[in-house]
Chains A and B, each alone.
Chain A
């Protein structure tokens, strides 16, 4: 049987770590371009979806 965490934030990718708080994996990057790239890689690795919060913060969520 497959077990997966669904509909929860698996990871956060951002160049602005001060915008994120709480108990979640945050990948801090140099700039927005790197954020985009890291988000893409994470989404493929985790088979999850990247959502853009439109403030430079990307969240990875499995649906």
Chain B
């Protein structure tokens, strides 16, 4: 086993590096406080270690060592549960919640990232066993880049165009362009909404996008991200300021209404663009024959 020690250490190092690299883009998905980092990096080290040992063990004809990988799978399923539980609990005290779909997406991502770490470590040790350490390290880094690209996911920017809308009242009905948002009874609230509120329209690019944006979880995710990035004046017991997304049933475009802390329409549009498209919300009617026929 002596000759493999360097390879195993390399595998663990590159795997851990992969986990740290993937933590980088967590700023919105999770309130990334130091302890969260520690938890995930430690689990990343464990994942890397498990995967790094696998190949050398097989080379030494220790076939039972592979069963360790099943323990890993079990272990990482618990991460999903852990994330889901934490985020769901935090949700109860949140004014603009993420919604279950978003939380499920985040939890799934956290689980999957550990499998990616194992993949990176396996590639690293695999190449290192059959060639040399340097090539192993290089291929490990390449695997990090590839997994990063593969796991990037889509954003609202890819499926929709966002434009400023005209926020106005039709008697007591608050509207963005021709889409009714809600009935606001108080004159004082109406004045404040007109002064400080912002309305934007999200135009889906095609029928796939329309179906995806139709998903309530996806809409809640957009509302959450916008409120998190530009702030919302919503307060307990004052539902008049609730940010809302409503659909034009004829065209599928969405109208978003929010009273932001900072009334900067470009930032709001950018915040919408940056919202991830949830895996569970994504629909592709156009990839079926019926969907394509119906759309023309």
Q: Enumerate chain A interface residues (CB-CB to B < 8 A).
A: 36, 39-40, 43-44, 47-52, 54, 58-59, 62-63
Residues facing A in B215-251 (CB within 8 A) are 236-240
Contact A52 B237 (CB under 8 A): no
Q: Does B186 contact A (CB under 8 A)?
A: yes
Q: Does B188 contact A (CB under 8 A)?
A: yes
Contact A39 B239 (CB under 8 A): no
Contact A39 B185 (CB under 8 A): yes
Interface majority SS on A: helix, strand, loop or mixed?
mixed
- The interface residues of chain A lying within 8 Å CB-to-CB of B237 are 44, 47
Contact A50 B186 (CB under 8 A): yes
Q: Enumerate chain B interface residues (CB-CB to A < 8 A).
A: 171-172, 182-189, 236-240
Can you spell out 23 A-B residue pairs with CB atoms less than 8 angstroms apart?
Answer: A36-B186, A36-B187, A36-B188, A39-B185, A40-B186, A43-B186, A43-B239, A47-B236, A48-B239, A49-B239, A49-B240, A50-B184, A50-B185, A50-B189, A50-B240, A51-B185, A52-B171, A52-B172, A52-B184, A52-B185, A58-B185, A62-B239, A63-B239
Most buried by A among B182, B185, B240: B185
- The interface residues of chain B lying within 8 Å CB-to-CB of A43 are 186, 238-240
Nearest Cβ distance between residue A20 and chain B, in whole angstroms? 15
